[in-house]
Amino acid sequence: MKIDPKGTNSAEFYKLFSSVVVPRPIAWVSTISEDGIFNLAPFSFFGILSSNPALVYVSVGRKRGGQKKDTLANIEFSKDFVVNIVNEDLAEVMNLSSTEFTSEVDEFTETGLTSTKADVVASPMLAESPVNLECRLYNVMEFGELPRGSSVVIGEVVQVHIKDDLFADGGIHAPTLRALGRHSGNLYCRTTDLIEMERPSLP
């Protein structure tokens, strides 16, 4: 079977595409609006672009009516955001926060989660999250056409917060972190079934 993305209905292609590139990490993005309202929403079109400088990207689509999602509008206003990492314990409340609440709704209050002040940026951090990445807006790149286009937000990580019990050997202890992965559709995956492989080296 072969599929031409341009010859396929965009919603159908999204379904296919997002079930091919799996599992994906989830950026649970917290932001602040021009009116000072806190916002929280998950994004799985997310990844590392570079480690030096420390750059991450989050691809934000449009609301059903073609308007900007609150996350994008807030980032364009404050020029910053926080990526909060999702573990298994937070799965359901993360999903709840993906509801298209109106921009007047504080999604921390709505979901019963706790905001905490960031060190560097104006956006709030999620206290319950095991790792928070404070990001300063680096660039926004627009792709495609409305209403299905996306805005790829690139952020420079300016401060990393890690719960002390997770830090091991200069990294994060994966079985303790229990990060949640996004699979296809409504499916998610655990990151606790790990396999280890030494990198090959020439003799």
Helix (H) or strand (E) holding 201: none
Instruction: Considering only the stretches 8-16, 34-42, 111-119, 129-137, report the one whose residues sit in contact with ligand FMN under the rule CB under 6 A.
Output: 34-42
Complex with ligand FMN: residue 142 or 165, whichever CB lies closer: 142
Q: Which of these, 76, 82, 13, lies nearest to 42 by C-alpha position?
A: 82
- Least Cβ distance, residue 121 to ligand FMN (angstroms): 17
> In this structure, are strands 150-162 and 167-168 parallel, antiparallel, or unpaired?
unpaired
Residue 111 sits in the site that holds ligand FMN (CB under 6 A): no
Query: Whose Cβ is closer to ligand FMN: residue 69's or residue 178's?
Result: 69
Place of tokens 């590392």: 48
What does DSSP say about strands 46-51 and 38-43: parallel, antiparallel, or unpaired?
A: unpaired
SS3 (DSSP) at 179:
strand
Could you give the string, one character per residue 44-63, with x where binding to ligand FMN holds by CB under 6 A and - elsewhere? xx-------------xxx--
Tokens of 37: 């309202």
List the one residue from 32, 41, 90, 121 that touches ligand FMN (CB under 6 A). Answer: 41
Kindly determine how many residues on this chain lie close enough to bind ligand FMN according to the rule CB under 6 A: 17
